[in-house]
C-alpha cells in the first residue's frame, strides 16, 4: 500500500552579553603591557557573541544577508548564515543543508521570491518570507529538528491525483509561525460531513509512519488558514490501534495558538494520539460541525480562549473515551 493510499484512508478521520576589554596599565613594564593586551584581546573575543540570527517571528533585515542568490540556484549556507534569495521558479525550492543548534541557516525570500513548493529536509533551519504558489500536491514539506517556517505565503497547491495540503511536517522543535495558507481545496468535494473518496485538503498536517518520525515540541502560532476544504490541522501520533499503527516514542507538547481557521469538513482541528496539547486563542471561522476533535489517547489537552463563528456549533468533542485524563477546558460536546 502506498503512503498516499494509506494517507487517504487515514484522513477519512474527520534567547551573552558582550564583555568589555580591561585596560592593563603597568607603566615601564613592556612585557606586562603586552601580556595584558593579549589577555584582554582573547577575553573580549570569548565574551563577545557572534552576530545573532534573526529573531524568531521577525523577518530578516536586508542588511543581514551573508549570501545572495536566486531561487533557481540557491547558495549553500552554513551555520549562522542568512541566505537571501530572489526571483521566481517553476520548480520546488529544496533545502537540505542546515546549521547547528542555536545557529541555524536562515533562508529568506524577502516576501516576494516565488517557488512552486518548498521542501526542507535538514535540522536547524529558518525559512522566511517565500511565496509557494501552485505547488504539486503540497505547498511545503518540513522534515527535521528545530525548523522554523515563518512569514511565508502558501497558496493553491494543485491536486496530483491523490491528496492536497498546505504544509506537512515531521520532527521535533518545529515552529510554524505567521504564515498565510490559502485556497487549499483543489480536486476536493468536502462538506461538513467529510470529503468522501477525494483529496482531504488540510492547511497543516503530520502523521507517523515507518517513513516519518513522531513530532513533539511543536509551536503553531499566528497563522492564517483561509479557504481550506478540510481541516486547519490534523495531527496523528504513533499509536492508533484501530488502524494497526503501534510505533515507538510519542508525539506531544504542542502549542496551537492564535491561529485563524476558515475550513470545512467535520472539524477544524483533529488530534489523534497527540499528548499535552495547548489549543488556545484561535479563531474558528469555518463551516465545521465542531472546532476541535480529540481521539486515540490525546490526553493532557488544555483548551481556552478560542472563538467560534455562528456556523460551528460545537467547540470540542471527545471522539472516544481515551482522551479525558489531564484535560483542562470547557466541557466537551457529544461527538455525534
Sheet of 175-177, strand order: 67-70, 82-86, 105-108, 125-128, 147-150, 175-177, 218-221, 252-257, 275-280, 302-304
50 in a structural domain: no
296 in a structural domain: yes
Question: Residue 83's beta-bridge partner residues?
Answer: 67, 107
Instruction: Please give the Cα distance from 62 to 315 (Å, whole number).
Output: 43
Summarize pLDDT for 15-39 with one digit per residue, the tens.
Answer: 333 333 333 333 333 333 333 433 3
Is 323 in contact with 294 (CB distance < 8 Å)? yes
pLDDT of residue 38: 35
Given pLDDT bands bounded at 50, 70 and 90, which one contains residue 45?
very low
Summarize pLDDT for 223-249 with one digit per residue, the tens.
Answer: 999 999 899 999 999 999 999 999 999
Question: Residue 314's beta-bridge partner residues?
Answer: 290
Instruction: Please give the Cα distance from 289 to 313 (Å, whole number).
Output: 6
pLDDT of residue 185: 86
35 in a structural domain: no
102 CB contacts (<8 Å, ≥6 apart)? none
105 in a structural domain: yes
pLDDT of residue 192: 66
Task: Decide the pairing of beta strands 202-206 and 175-177.
Answer: unpaired
Coil, helix or strand at residue 102? coil
pLDDT of residue 334: 72
24 in a structural domain: no
Q: For the chain, how long is the longest CA-to-CA vector?
A: 90
User: Average pLDDT of 90-95?
Assistant: 97
Please tell me the total count of domains within the chain.
Answer: 1
Q: Which CATH number covers residue 106?
A: 2.160.20
pLDDT of residue 1: 38
Give the range of the structural domain holding residue 103, as residue numbers without chain letter.
3-14+55-318
pTM for the full predicted model: 0.83
Is 314 in contact with 290 (CB distance < 8 Å)? yes
27 in a structural domain: no
DSSP letters of 66-81?
A: SEEEESSS-----TT-
Above pLDDT 70, what percent of the chain? 77
Please count the CA atoms within 13 angstroms of the CA of 275 that sit on its side-chain side.
Answer: 11
pLDDT of residue 4: 43
User: Average pLDDT of 50-74?
Assistant: 73
Question: Residue 202's beta-bridge partner residues?
Answer: 165
Summarize pLDDT for 292-303 with one digit per residue, the tens.
Answer: 999 999 999 999
312 in a structural domain: yes
pLDDT at 183 > cutoff 70: yes
Summarize pLDDT for 96-130 with one digit per residue, the tens.
Answer: 999 999 999 999 999 999 999 999 999 999 999 99
111 in a structural domain: yes
Amino acid at each position: 500500500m502506498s503512503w498516499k493510499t494509506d494517507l487517504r484512508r487515514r484522513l477519512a478521520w474527520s534567547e551573552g552579553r558582550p564583555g568589555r576589554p580591561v585596560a592593563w596599565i603597568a607603566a615601564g613594564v613592556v612585557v606586562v603591557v603586552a601580556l595584558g593586551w593579549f589577555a584582554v584581546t582573547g577575553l573580549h573575543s570569548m565574551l563577545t557573541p557572534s552576530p545573532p540570527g534573526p529573531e524568531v517571528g521577525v523577518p530578516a533585515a536586508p542588511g543581514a544577508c551573508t549570501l545572495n542568490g536566486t531561487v533557481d540556484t540557491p547558495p549553500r549556507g552554513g551555520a549562522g548564515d542568512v541566505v537571501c534569495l530572489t526571483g521566481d521558479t517553476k520548480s520546488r525550492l529544496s533545502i537540505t543543508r542546515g546549521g547547528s543548534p542555536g545557529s541555524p541557516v536562515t533562508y529568506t525570500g524577502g516576501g516576494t521570491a516565488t517557488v512552486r513548493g518548498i521542501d526542507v529536509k535538514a535540522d536547524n533551519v529558518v525559512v522566511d518570507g517565500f511565496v509557494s504558489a501552485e505547488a504539486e500536491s503540497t505547498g511545503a514539506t518540513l522534515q527535521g529538528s528545530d525548523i522554523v517556517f515563518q512569514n511565508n505565503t502558501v497558496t493553491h497547491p494543485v491536486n496530483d491525483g491523490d491528496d492536497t495540503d498546505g504544509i506537512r511536517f515531521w520532527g521535533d522543535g518545529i515552529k510554524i509561525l505567521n504564515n498565510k495558507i490559502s485556497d487549499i481545496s483543489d480536486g476536493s468535494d468536502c462538506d461538513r460531513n467529510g470529503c468522501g473518496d477525494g483529496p482531504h485538503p488540510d492547511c497543516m498536517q503530520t502523521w507517523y509512519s515507518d517513513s516519518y518520525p513522531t513530532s513533539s515540541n511543536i509551536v503553531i502560532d499566528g497563522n492564517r488558514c483561509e479557504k481550506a476544504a478540510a481541516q486547519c490541522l490534523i495531527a496523528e501520533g504513533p499509536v492508533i490501534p484501530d488502524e494497526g499503527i503501534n510505533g515507538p516514542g510519542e508525539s506531544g507538547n504542542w502549542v496551537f495558538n492564535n491561529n485563524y481557521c476558515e475550513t470545512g469538513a467535520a472539524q477544524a482541528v483533529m488530534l489523534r494520539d497527540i499528548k499535552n496539547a495547548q489549543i488556545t486563542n484561535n479563531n474558528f471561522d469555518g463551516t465545521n460541525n465542531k472546532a476541535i476533535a480529540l481521539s486515540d489517547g490525546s490526553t493532557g489537552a488544555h483548551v481556552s480562549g478560542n472563538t467560534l463563528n455562528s456556523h460551528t456549533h460545537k467547540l470540542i468533542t471527545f471522539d472516544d473515551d481515551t482522551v479525558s485524563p489531564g484535560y483542562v477546558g470547557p466541557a466537551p460536546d457529544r461527538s455525534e
